[in-house]
Amino acid sequence: MKTELVIDLEAEKQEILKRYRALLRASKSTLQKGDKKEIRKAFDMALESHKDMRRKSGEPYIYHPIAVAQIAAEEIGLGTTSIVCALLHDVVEDTDITLEDIEREFGKKTAKIIDGLTKISGVFDTNSSLQAENFRKMLLTLADDVRVILIKLADRLHNMRTMDFMPRHKQLKIASETIYLYAPLAHRLGLYAIKSELEDLSMKYLDPDTYKFIAKKLNEKKAERALFIKKFVEPIDEIVHEQGLVADVYGRPKSIHSIWNKMKKKNIPFEEVYDLFAIRIILDSAPENEKADCWKAYSIVTDLYRPNPDRLRDWVSSPKGNGYESLHTTVMGPRGQWVEVQIRTQRMNEIAEKGFAAHWKYKESSNDNGLDQWIQKVREMLSNPEANALDFLDDFKMNLFSDEIFIFTPKGALIQLPLGATALDFAFEIHTDVGATCIGAKVNHKLVPISYKLQNGDQVEIITSSKQSPKEDWLNVVVTAKAKSKIKSSLKEEKRKIAENGKEILERKLKSLKITYNTDNIQKLSYFFKLPSTQELFVNVALGKIELKDIREYLSSEKEVENRGPERPENLTVDGIKSKIKGGESDILLIGEDMQRIDYTLAPCCNPIPGDDVFGFITVSEGIKIHRTNCPNAAQLMANYGYRVVKAKWNRQKELTFLTGLKIVGIDDVGLINNITRVISTDFKVNMRSITVDTNEGIFEGSIMIFVNDTEHLENLIKNLLKVRGVTGVTRFDA
C-alpha cells in the first residue's frame, strides 16, 4: 500500500514539473534577463508553502497557482511580474508567509499587487452585502495597479473551469458572482475571449439544461456548418490574396451564452438563430495601412455578398472605450442566410482577444490614454464616500460596462458617455455647476428638454439659468454615476437647510405644548408619523406637512406607543424564521442545510414549479421566497446577498398544483382554440385560470395561465399542444 502512495507522489511531482515547464514556454515571449530565475524562485516558494494542501478534486493545490499564471501569461499576455504574483497569489492568505517576506524576496511592486489580491479575497463580515463591498475594495486596488484585477480574473477563470467538485450551493453562488461581476468586468477591460468563456461556464451551472441543449444542437450541425464556412470563405480568400493583402480568413463559433441571449431577446427557437458563427478576416498590415486595408477587405466582401446597410459597425475610425477596434458587417450568404463578418488587423485582434490591459505597460509615459481615462473614471467613482456599496455597484455596472456614445461640444471636442445618457448627463460631464443650473439644451441646434436621450455623434450646447437648482426627479433623468452623486449631494445640502429651519419651528411648537425637546421625544415623534429619520420629521415640519394639531394627536396616543415600542424585523437567518413559523403547505419543499420543512412563498418573478432547479431567499418581511436558479433576478440576489440564500429542493409527496404561463403561437385555423383547450382540459385534466387570444392577419397568439403539478407534467402538456394542427410554438413564460 505504501509503495503505491510513493509512486503516486512521484507521478504528481513529474506532473507539477511538466506544468511548470509549460508555463515557462507560455511566457517565453516576454522573458528578459534574470526573469526565469525570478519565476523559479516564486514557483519554489509556492510549492513549499502549499505542499500539504489539496483542492476539492484531490489534486495538489499547486496546480491552481500554476494554471492562474499560465492564463495570465498565455490568454492575457502579461509579463514576469504578473506571473510571479499569480504563482504567489494565495500564499499570504493561506500560509505562514507574510507580505514582508514577499517584499524582501521579490520587491515592493510584487508585494503591493499580492496585497491587493489578498484584500480582494480577504474575510469580511459575512452579513454585510459581501460582494458589493468586496468589489469596491477590489476596484480601490485597481486604481493602483490594473494587474491586480487581471490576475483576479485569471484566478476566477481557473476556478470556474474546475468547479465540478464543489457543492451545488457553492457552484450557484460563484457562478452568479461571475455572471454579475466578473464577466462584465472582463468585457469592460476588452478581454472578449475570457468574457465569453466566463459567461458560458456560469450558464453551465446556473441553467444546465439550456446549456446542454444548445451545446448538443451545436454539435449536431458541426460538419454542415464547417462546409458552409468553407464555401463562404473560399472566394473571399482568393480575391484578398489577388489584391495583395495578407490575411487569415476563418469561421469562429459564437458562445452558447450569446446564442441563448439571442433566443431570449428575439423570442425564437434555436433553429431560427442564424448567426451561430462569425467570419473573421485578420489582416497582416503595416500600422500606417491598417485603416485602408480594413476598408479594402470590406469592399471585397460586399462585392461578393450583399450587405445589410443597418448592420455596419465601424470601430476602426472611433474605437470603443476599452480599445476595441474592428469593422463588423452582416452580409447575405449563398444560402439566403445572414452572416456576420468581422474585419481587423493582427494588432487589433490582439487587443480584442487579450484586452487593452495587455498593452498597458505600467509606465507613466504610456501613450495609451484610454486606459488612463478609464482608471480616472473608476477613481472618481471611488472617491465619492457617500455611495452605498450596492448603489455604487449598479452605477459602476451602468457606467463602465455599457456601450458608449460620442458627443461633440459646440467647439467640436469629443465627450464619451454611456448609451442612454441624457442632455443633463452631458451638462454634469462638462462641469458640476453647468449641470446644477441646466434648464435645457440645443442638440444639433434644436431646442430639447434636459431629459432628451442623446444619440451617437450629436452636437450639444447646454442652456443654463441662475434660478435653476437640482430637483429630486433629476435622479430619474440621469444615468452617469457622476451626475447622480452630484445631484444627490446637492439635494442633501438643500434638505439639510430645510431641516435646520424645521428644527427651530418644531422646538417652538413643542415648547408651546410644554413638551421637552429631547432626543427621546423626537424619536417617538418620528416613529408616530412613520418617518424613517428625524431629519425627515424636521423637513415635514418646515414644509407645513406636520402642524400643531398633528402633534396634539401624538400626545393623546403617546401612552400606547410607549407600551408597544418600535418593531424590529427578525434576524435574517433560517433559524430566525424557523422560530417564527409552524409548518403549513411546506410538505412539498425541503429547505436549508438539514432539509427541514419550513413555510415559504413562491416568487412571482419566475413562478417556480416542482422539478425546477430552485433556491430559497430570506426576505426582510416575507419569510423565505423560492426562486428558480435561472430566474432573471437570481444572479443579483446570489451575488449580493449570498448569506441569505438557502438550499431548497422539491419533495414529491403531494399532488399540488402550481400556476404557470404558456405562450402559444400558430396559424389561425377553424377550431384551433377548441383543440387547444381540449388538450389542456380533457386529455390532461389541467385547470386553466385565464386565456387571452390575439389573432392578427392569420397569425394566432395566445397566453394561457394554467395549474400544473411539476415540470414533467408541463413538458408533456407542451409536447401534446405542439401536435395540435396549426400550432407552431409553445413556450413557458414567467409571469
* pTM for the whole structure: 0.65
Least confident piece of the model among 90-104, 366-380, 400-414: 366-380
> What does the pLDDT look like over 517-564, one tens digit per residue?
888 788 888 888 888 778 888 888 888 888 878 888 777 766 454 444
Q: Dihedrals φ, ψ of 87, to 5°?
A: -65, -35
Q: Which residue has the higher pLDDT, 567 or 556?
A: 556
Burial of 259 (0-12, 13-18, 19+ CB in 10 A): buried
CA distance 469 to 456: 28
Provide the pLDDT for residue 3.
44
Torsion angle (degrees, nearest 10) of CA 720, 721, 726, 728: -100
Q: Which residue has the higher pLDDT, 370 or 241?
A: 241
Residue that is written with C-alpha cell 482568393 in the block: 238
Between vectors from CA 58 to CA 52 and to CA 61, what angle results, nearest 5°?
45
> What does the pLDDT look like over 220-258, one tens digit per residue?
888 888 899 999 999 999 999 999 899 999 988 889 999
Residue that is written with C-alpha cell 442566410 in the block: 337
In the structure, what pLDDT confidence band is assigned to residue 654 with cuts at 50, 70 and 90? Answer: low
Residues near 532 by Cβ (< 8 Å), separated by ≥ 6? 526
Instruction: Choose from 26-40, 175-189, 296-310 the range with maximum mean pLDDT.
Output: 296-310
Model confidence at 459: pLDDT above 70: yes
Model confidence at 361: pLDDT above 50: no
Q: What's domain 215-359's architecture? A: 2-Layer Sandwich (3.30)
Q: What 3-state DSSP class applies to 279?
A: strand
Q: Which CATH number fits domain 2-165: 3.40.50.300, 3.40.190.10, 1.10.3210.10, 3.40.50.2020?
A: 1.10.3210.10
Residue that is written with C-alpha cell 377550431 in the block: 671
Least confident piece of the model among 26-35, 147-156, 365-374, 715-724: 365-374
Least confident piece of the model among 314-318, 602-606, 693-697: 693-697
Other CB atoms within 10 A of residue 652 CB? 10
Model confidence at 385: pLDDT above 70: no
Looking at 59, 93, 105, 558, which residue is catalytic?
Answer: 93
> What does the pLDDT look like over 424-444, one tens digit per residue?
999 999 999 999 999 999 998
CA distance 704 to 688: 7
For range 619-636, the mean pLDDT: 83
In the structure, what pLDDT confidence band is assigned to residue 65 with cuts at 50, 70 and 90? Answer: very high
For range 663-678, the mean pLDDT: 84
For range 105-112, the mean pLDDT: 89
Q: What 3-state DSSP class applies to 413?
A: coil
Provide the pLDDT for residue 183.
86
Q: What percent of the chain has pLDDT over 70?
A: 82
Q: Which residue has the higher pLDDT, 571 or 639?
A: 639
Residues near 277 by Cβ (< 8 Å), separated by ≥ 6? 225, 229, 251, 252, 253, 254, 339
In the structure, what pLDDT confidence band is assigned to residue 603 with cuts at 50, 70 and 90? Answer: confident
Q: Per-domain residue ranges for the chain?
A: 2-165, 215-359, 369-484, 489-552, 574-650, 658-733
Model confidence at 576: pLDDT above 60: no
Question: Catalytic residue at 585?
Answer: no
Looking at 12, 94, 144, 350, which residue is catalytic?
Answer: 94
Q: Which residue has the higher pLDDT, 320 or 343?
A: 343
Q: What's domain 658-733's architecture? A: 2-Layer Sandwich (3.30)
CA distance 357 to 189: 7
Other CB atoms within 10 A of residue 241 CB? 12
Question: Catalytic residue at 93?
Answer: yes
Hey, what amino acid is at 195?
K
Name the CATH topology of 369-484.
Ubiquitin-like (UB roll) (3.10.20)
Model confidence at 112: pLDDT above 70: yes
> What does the pLDDT look like over 677-709, one tens digit per residue?
888 877 777 778 788 888 777 788 888 888 888
In the structure, what pLDDT confidence band is assigned to residue 310 with cuts at 50, 70 and 90? Answer: confident
